[in-house]
Amino acid sequence: MPKPEILITGSLMPLVHEQLSAAYTTHSLPAGDAADDVLNAVADEIRGIAGSPARGIGANLMDRLPRLEIIANYGVGYDNIDVPHAAARNIIVTNTPDVLSEEVADAAIGLMIMTARELSAAERWLRAGKWKKGYPLTRGTLRGKRLGIFGLGRIGRAIAVRAQAMGMEICYHNRTRVRDVPYPYCSSLRELASHCDVLLCAAPGGEATRGLINAEIFQALGAEGIFINIGRGTTVDEPALVAALQDRTIMAAGLDVFENEPHVPQELMDMDHVVLLPHMASASVHTRNAMAQLLVDNLIGWFENGAPLTPVAETPWPRK
């Protein structure tokens, strides 16, 4: 039997390249026009994709790969993939849940503290030699504050546990109420925003959440409110967020994700009451290796044992 041929759509952790090239025939998909040369040469043989989150995998690419069976995505979010199209073609999509939840939750808490207590602005102040002038007391605090989590899934729950240990009250909004948590449920995002002091987005991207966090939500969060996003930038109406920060509709924001990465609007760069991170919540060597290993194990599980480890809900295995 010839080895399965795998397309790698971007630069991934070294272990992915090492393990996949040891077990399979691999092909890297370059950026730009050079991609066509690779596809012209190998498209008919590709049975699996190791997917970089930085690259979209749309219907066009899938339909150039007639033997494609599985797309193993590097990341828990998979809004870079046209999953309905994959499902329609019986292509399995896998992601990397759980192995990053604690790391992302750590980063979310760090970002929340940085934002409320102005830690990065204070460090800039010190480095500018201004300590003697005394840094102003921060208006923001997490003492006595309520955290509203939009997306109480694996990551959201890990954040809630930490925030509760810090003395914060928790409330949340999902489409479906979670039965096994003690936190109050808000039946809409707007209700959540008006009920909390810190609104934290840990929901997935994609069409179902696009632009949901908009001017109305910032209005509901209010002038003492803080917005934190470690989910996806597309969930936010970014111009509305810029306006809400500029006119102080909300107090501050901490953002690890943006609508059009790696582009960050200059207006956000120019404001001191915003903390900006380069989509790095899961980005430790430890956790990225765990994610990379799960990606590889999904491909091995499929090609060696006929069962992926972590298929996404839209492409369940065994098939329904």
Binding residues for ligand A2R, rule: CB under 6 A, are 76-77, 97, 101, 104, 151-156, 174-176, 202-205, 208-209, 231-232
Q: Which is nearer to ligand A2R, 24 or 227 (CB)?
A: 227
Q: Is 195 considered catalytic here?
A: no
Using a CB cutoff of 8 Å and minimum separation of 24, what contacts does 304-313 make?
308/70, 308/72, 308/92, 308/94, 309/94, 310/94, 310/95, 310/96, 310/97, 310/98, 311/92, 311/93, 311/94, 312/78, 312/83, 312/93, 312/94, 312/95
Catalytic, out of 232, 238, 273, 288: 232
Q: Is 232 considered catalytic here?
A: yes
What are 28's strand-pairing partners? 8
- Minimum CB separation of residue 201 from ligand A2R in Å reads 9
What are 71's strand-pairing partners? 49, 93
Q: Which is nearer to ligand A2R, 154 or 190 (CB)?
A: 154
SS3 string of 46-112? EEEEEECCCCCECHHHHHCCCCCCEEEECCCCCCCECHHHHHHCCCEEECCCCCCHHHHHHHHHHHH
- Minimum CB separation of residue 283 from ligand A2R in Å reads 11
Q: Is 261 considered catalytic here?
A: yes
Catalytic, out of 191, 216, 261, 267: 261
- Minimum CB separation of residue 229 from ligand A2R in Å reads 10
Q: Which is nearer to ligand A2R, 153 or 311 (CB)?
A: 153
- Minimum CB separation of residue 282 from ligand A2R in Å reads 7
What are 19's strand-pairing partners? none
- Minimum CB separation of residue 30 from ligand A2R in Å reads 26
Q: Which is nearer to ligand A2R, 51 or 151 (CB)?
A: 151
Q: Which of 68, 69, 50 is nearest to 7 (CA)?
A: 50
Measure the CA–CA gap between 224 and 66, rounded to whole angstroms. Answer: 54
Q: Which is nearer to ligand A2R, 4 or 233 (CB)?
A: 233
Q: What's at 104, amino acid-wise? A: V
- Residue with token string 């604690």: 102
Q: Which of 48, 62, 58, 63 is nearest to 81 (CA)?
A: 58
- Minimum CB separation of residue 246 from ligand A2R in Å reads 26
Q: Which is nearer to ligand A2R, 55 or 154 (CB)?
A: 154
Residue in the shown chain whose Cβ atom is closest to ligand A2R: 153
Answer yes or no: are the C-beta atoms of 227 and 100 closer than 8 Å. Answer: no
Catalytic, out of 55, 154, 210, 279: 279
The catalytic residues are: 232, 261, 279
